[in-house]
Chain A
Amino acid sequence: MKKTSLTAYLLVVVLFATAIISVCLGDMYISLFQVIQSFTGKGSEAHTMIIEMLRLPRITTALLVGASLAVAGSILQGVVRNPMASPEILGVTGGASAAAIAFLTFAAGTVSIRWLPVSALAGAGAVSLVLYVFAWKRGVTSMRLILIGVGMSALMSGVTTMMIVFNPKNDAGQAYTWLTGSVYAANWENVLLLLPWTAILLPLTMLMTRHVNIAQLGDDIATSSGSRVQLNRFILLMFSVALAGSAVSVGGAIGFVGLLAPHMARKLVGANFRRVMPVSALLGAIIVMLADLIGRTAFIPLDVPAGVFTAAIGAPFFIYLLYARRNES
């Protein structure tokens, strides 16, 4: 446990360091001293404006999105008992994207934007439900779940493209950036949209960690140890879907965070979910923040979506995992 607290402590330090660097760097460089000045109310008006209206909300959004996606992925990997399971491979992210784009296309303007996370969530939920039903054939095997998930994510990307083309009002470029996953132009409203979900779901998941640990042992052992396997699995999957859905509704489909973070966490602190969950939340937040930081500073004046970087690291990692597991059936 000692090692775990040390790791967590170090990660919190890294998180803060990343956040501070993110506040300083950008189109306009603001030195650390100037940042402190504006926090204490003595900085120049321009600096305060940039920090408070542009950079801070963006950093906070990245933090929340990253943590949500990472925890969603870690739950999924634990419950499905397959390290390859991640929201984007199974099409859950795709369902959330399709629903969110549908909301923006058909309902924006008439319905409050506050319902956007709910609609993304409904999309993610609907996809996972259909996935589960389709994969059910005297029980669900992870192979069937994954194969059908691959089809599902293709279907969802088709539906999303259709939605973009259907709506001539939509700015195709904007929708495309969103699909890649970006916290570009995030504001405090986005943060408020996402915060309740994260603030409620993360502690709740923490309360359920015991059940994930039991689920990892397999259905038979879990049942004989008195766990209500089906019920707990359902609740945990709903948590995962809700976290992924709310994150996608704000940040778009930032890929592979849900795959990377839990794996790194397990390498750092072992398989106990009680430790994996908080550590992967921290890692997820750091990954998305870093990706966003690189995206908006490396190619100035361009703002490259964070999702490009997470996928560029995540997809090769996925391939590595595939190779490392080549001898398992």
Chain B
Amino acid sequence: MRFTRTNGWRAAGLAAGAVLLLIFLVASLLFGAKNYTWKAAWESLVRYDEESVEQVIIRTTRLPRALIAAAIGASLAIAGALMQTLTRNPLASPSVLGVNAGASFFVVFAAVLLSVSNLQALMWISFIGAAIAAVIVYVLGSAGRGGLTPLKIILAGAAMTALFASFTQGVLALDKQGLSTVLFWLTGTIAGRSPDMLGIIFPYMAISWVSAWLLAKGLNILTMGEETAKGLGQRTYLLKIAVGAIVVVLAGGSVAIAGPIGFIGIVVPHLSRYIAGIDHRWLIPYCAVCGAILLLAADICARFIMIPEEMPVGVMTAVIGAPFFMYIARRGLSK
């Protein structure tokens, strides 16, 4: 049974999603190795008292963590949706196509071998890594007769992922000290990340979210096919470059903060398309909200699975997302 998707329903759904997101944000503040009361959380936000231990923990650890999870979840989901539209491939996402791996390698290389610690610099390095990986995969995947076939681009992504992963391993093998500091980051984690990085990257992310939404109409036309889009007077190259840049900023930024967190970018767009339909003007906000909720939920779960240790959230998303990927692959790539 499926109801017709009128814009009223879609707006209502989005509002409900926003409420749910708020609930998960609060839950992220309250629950963990130690649970806090509503009162403590509220007071830490409005009447911050540096003397109170619990308020300090909420304010300096839990709050940044919740915000990072929400921002990254939204970014990766939007990046995934854009990549799926651009490559016309339901399996595309920053992790599968090697963009995350590219950004990770560049960050590890810079941080471990060149001892770069300036956050601003690391952000740009991460962007560059993501961009290089994205361009190579796109060119390889679309070279030859038949253009961008699903199998070609996925194989290109798998190859680039393997290549960058082995480079990363090589760097870490050269510097054993570096390994212990970045190993947890490499599995994808939002625990213990400093809020400074989010502060630097957030403006870029926010601009990308808005630009993605502004490009929605063009993306809708692009889904009808390259020829049709050109026939309707769209400058598809310009659009593709803009979308590519947005993907690079969103995926690269996320990696710079939290390491490679996979599969949010594939699960969420499918989920959102199921709820909101294929119109990008709705799809993109839905992706943002659902992605934020999903990563917050995964992060909260990651705290409870193996108390007192924490599970890297990247492992959680891989364990949930990889079977989903296989399901989509099995269902077929006829689209």
Chain A residues close to B by CB (< 8 Å): 84, 88-89, 134-135, 137, 143-144, 146-148, 150-155, 157-159, 161-162, 165-166, 168, 172-173, 176-177, 179-180, 255-256, 299, 302, 304-305, 307-308, 311-312, 314-316, 318-319, 322-323, 326-327, 329
Q: Is B111 located at the chain interface by the 8 A CB criterion?
A: no
Contact A326 B145 (CB under 8 A): yes
25 contacts between A and B (CB under 8 A): A88-B162, A89-B162, A137-B330, A147-B151, A147-B154, A147-B333, A148-B329, A154-B96, A154-B325, A155-B322, A155-B323, A158-B314, A161-B312, A161-B315, A162-B315, A166-B309, A172-B180, A307-B166, A308-B170, A312-B166, A316-B163, A319-B163, A322-B156, A326-B143, A327-B146
Contact A176 B183 (CB under 8 A): yes
Chain A's closest residue to B176 (CB) is A173
Nearest first, the 4 closest Cβ-Cβ pairs linking A and B are A326-B144, A158-B318, A311-B166, A155-B322
Q: How near does chain B come to A92, taking the closest CB pair, in angstroms? A: 14
Chain A's closest residue to B169 (CB) is A180
| A151, A166, A179 — most chain B CB neighbours (10 Å) | A151
The residues of B that contact A314 with a CB separation of less than 8 Å are 162
Decide yes or no: A151 and B159 within 8 Å by CB, A172-B183, A326-B143 being known contacts: no
Seed contacts A84-B155, A165-B312, A304-B174; 14 additional CB < 8 Å A-B pairs: A147-B150, A150-B155, A152-B322, A155-B318, A157-B318, A161-B312, A162-B311, A162-B315, A165-B311, A176-B169, A180-B166, A311-B163, A312-B170, A315-B159
Q: How near does chain A come to B267, taking the closest CB pair, in angstroms? A: 12
Q: How near does chain B come to A171, taking the closest CB pair, in angstroms? A: 10
Contacting residues of chain B (34-54) with chain A, CB-CB under 8 angstroms:
none
The residues of A that contact B329 with a CB separation of less than 8 Å are 144, 147-148, 150-151
- What number of A-B contacts does a CB cutoff of 8 Å give? 150
CA distance A179 to B145 in the complex (A): 37
CA distance A326 to B95 in the complex (A): 23
Please encode chain B, from 90 to 128, with 1 for each CB lying within 8 Å of some chain A CB and 0 for all others. Answer: 010001100000000000000000000000000000000
Q: Is B326 located at the chain interface by the 8 A CB criterion?
A: yes
Q: Is B179 located at the chain interface by the 8 A CB criterion?
A: yes
Decide yes or no: A159 and B325 within 8 Å by CB, A173-B180, A176-B172, A319-B160 being known contacts: no
Chain B residues close to A by CB (< 8 Å): 91, 95-96, 140, 143-146, 149-152, 154-160, 162-163, 165-167, 169-170, 172-174, 176, 179-180, 183-184, 187, 262-263, 306, 309, 311-312, 314-315, 318-319, 321-323, 325-326, 329-330, 333
Decide yes or no: A155 and B330 within 8 Å by CB, A146-B151, A312-B166, A326-B152 being known contacts: no
Chain B's closest residue to A311 (CB) is B166
CA distance A162 to B317 in the complex (A): 11
Decide yes or no: A315 and B145 within 8 Å by CB, A172-B180, A308-B169 being known contacts: no
Secondary structure of the B side of the interface?
helix
Decide yes or no: A323 and B172 within 8 Å by CB, A151-B323, A162-B315, A316-B163 being known contacts: no
Pick from A143, A153, A176, A299: contact of B179, CB below 8 A: A176
Pick from A158, A168, A299, A329: contact of B146, CB below 8 A: A329
Chain A's closest residue to B174 (CB) is A302
Contact B169 A151 (CB under 8 A): no
Pick from B162, B262, B263, B333: contact of A255, CB below 8 A: B162
Pick from A155, A161, A311: contact of B162, CB below 8 A: A311
Contact A158 B158 (CB under 8 A): no
CA distance A165 to B312 in the complex (A): 8
Contact A158 B315 (CB under 8 A): yes
Pick from B157, B173, B309: contact of A304, CB below 8 A: B173
The residues of B that contact A173 with a CB separation of less than 8 Å are 176, 179-180, 183
Q: How near does chain A come to B327, taking the closest CB pair, in angstroms? A: 9
The residues of B that contact A176 with a CB separation of less than 8 Å are 169, 172, 179, 183
Q: How near does chain B come to A135, taking the closest CB pair, in angstroms? A: 7
Contact A155 B319 (CB under 8 A): yes
Contact B151 A302 (CB under 8 A): no
CA distance A311 to B160 in the complex (A): 11
CA distance A33 to B290 in the complex (A): 70
Q: How near does chain B come to A285, taking the closest CB pair, in angstroms? A: 21
Q: How near does chain B come to A293, taking the closest CB pair, in angstroms? A: 16
Q: How near does chain A come to B136, taking the closest CB pair, in angstroms? A: 8
The residues of A that contact B323 with a CB separation of less than 8 Å are 151, 155
Contact A308 B158 (CB under 8 A): no
The residues of B that contact A180 with a CB separation of less than 8 Å are 166, 169, 173
Contact B311 A312 (CB under 8 A): no
Contact B179 A134 (CB under 8 A): no
The residues of B that contact A312 with a CB separation of less than 8 Å are 163, 166-167, 170
